[in-house]
Amino acid sequence: MCDAVIEQRCQTCGSVVQCRAWEDVIGGRLQWVVLCDCGTCGGGESEEFGWDETPAEVRRALLDMCGTFRLRVQAPLEVARMPLMRIVRATGEPLASLSARVEALLIQGQTGTEAELELLALRLAEVGVPTTIAKDDAG
């Protein structure tokens, strides 16, 4: 998957360092990583990572540098609706907006980073809903 470059301050000497950032899908979860190597103080590599919720700065850099992707559901509405309801509900979508959210997902698809959509595709595949992911031309 594509890497993005973000600037962070070195924790040792405070100079601005270009760090590599990326996301991955590991064991059915989203992992984000930021890897920095300071050339000024030679403080060595520092690595920051986390699960599920990518920091906004990292996510924005990934969308900017790696592009926005779009997932599309490749199944008829009547087949995909119920499984989609379950998956979208599990992401914490409130009941009030659930059906509109599922409708939008069926018709327009879902945009996001490549890893976010890979994870969604994985969850949908588990409930028998085929999808495709492609770079979003409009994004």
Q: How far is the CB of 49 from Zn ion (least distance, A)?
A: 20
Task: Check residue 62 for interaction with Zn ion (CB under 5 A).
Answer: no
Q: Which stretch binds Zn ion (CB under 5 A): 31-39, 63-71, 75-83, 89-97?
A: 31-39
> Which residue, 12 or 68, is less far from Zn ion as judged by CB?
12
Question: Which of 17/87 has CB closer to Zn ion?
Answer: 17
> Applying CB under 5 A, does 10 fall inside the site for Zn ion?
yes
Cα–Cα distances (Å) from 34 to 22, 52, 122, in that order, read 7, 14, 24
Distance of CA 38 to the CA centre of its chain: 27
How far is Cα 132 from Cα 32, in angstroms, rounded to an integer? 22
Q: In the 3-class helix/strand/coil scheme, how is 12-25 assigned residue by residue?
A: CCCCEEEEEEEEEE
Examine residue 13 and tell whether it contacts Zn ion (CB under 5 A).
Answer: yes
Pairing of strands 16-26, 29-38: antiparallel
Distance CA 87, CA 93 (A): 9
* Minimum separation from the CB atom of position 15 to Zn ion (A): 5
Our finding on whether 12 is near Zn ion (CB under 5 A) is: yes
One of 16, 41, 100, 127 touching Zn ion (CB under 5 A): 41
Binding to Zn ion by residue 43, rule CB under 5 A?
Answer: yes
Contact between 133 and Zn ion (CB under 5 A)?
A: no
The answer to whether the beta carbons of residues 128 and 71 sit under 8 Å apart is: no
List of residues contacting Zn ion (CB under 5 A): 10, 12-13, 38, 40-41, 43
